[in-house]
Structure formats: C-alpha cells, structure tokens
C-alpha cells in the first residue's frame, strides 16, 4: 500500500506564485491595451487647428490620463513574489 502524501504549504507556493505572475501580467497588458486603443481625435491634413479642436484634444488627453491614473491606483497594491517561478 502507498502512503498518502501529506499536502504541505510549500507545495502550494509555486502554483500560487505562477498564478500571481500570470494575472499581474494580464492586468498590465490590459491596462496597456486600454491606453493604446483609446481613440484620440484626429485632424485632417491641412485643416486649421481651431480652438475647438485644440480644446477637444486637450480634453481627450486629460480623460486618457485620468483613466491610466485610476488603473495605476487599482494596481498599486499588487505585489509579486520573487524567485524561480517556472510556469
């Protein structure tokens, strides 16, 4: 008869570290994609940059900046476990 294996805390460290690394990477890539895919208003070639267009561009960039700051605040408390993770 085989002896039943006792599950130790040290047996769970590697899978938990791998999962943490995976989900942290997923969050970082999601934030980067959201920043990249946010549309910025365009101005046609040769079109005069009017005050309205300039204000719209400034508002869009401020909105984009606040979205990134909000995501940074949400992920500020995420910490990673160092060491050999081996996924």
In the structure encoding, which two tokens stand for residue 74, read together? 């949400």
Instruction: Label residue 87 by pLDDT band (50, 70, 90).
Output: low
- CA dist 37 → 30, 33, 56, 64, 78 (Å): 10, 6, 18, 10, 24
Q: What are 39-53's pLDDT values in tens digits? A: 666 667 777 778 888
Instruction: Label residue 22 by pLDDT band (50, 70, 90).
Output: very high
In the structure encoding, which two tokens stand for residue 47, read together? 């079109």
- Domain residue ranges in the chain: 48-75
8 A C-beta contact, residue 34 and residue 66: no
Q: Cα(60)–Cα(57) distance, rounded to whole angstroms?
A: 5
Where is pLDDT greater, at 75 or 78?
Answer: 75
């Amino acid at each position: 008869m085989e002896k039943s294996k006792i599950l130790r805390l040290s047996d769970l460290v590697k899978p938990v570290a791998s999962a943490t690394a995976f989900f942290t990477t997923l969050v970082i890539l999601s934030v980067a994609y959201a920043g990249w895919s946010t549309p910025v208003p365009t101005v046609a070639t040769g079109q005069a940059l009017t005050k309205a267009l300039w204000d719209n561009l400034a508002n869009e960039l401020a909105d984009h900046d606040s979205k990134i700051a909000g995501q940074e605040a949400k992920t500020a408390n995420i910490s990673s476990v160092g060491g050999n993770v081996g996924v």
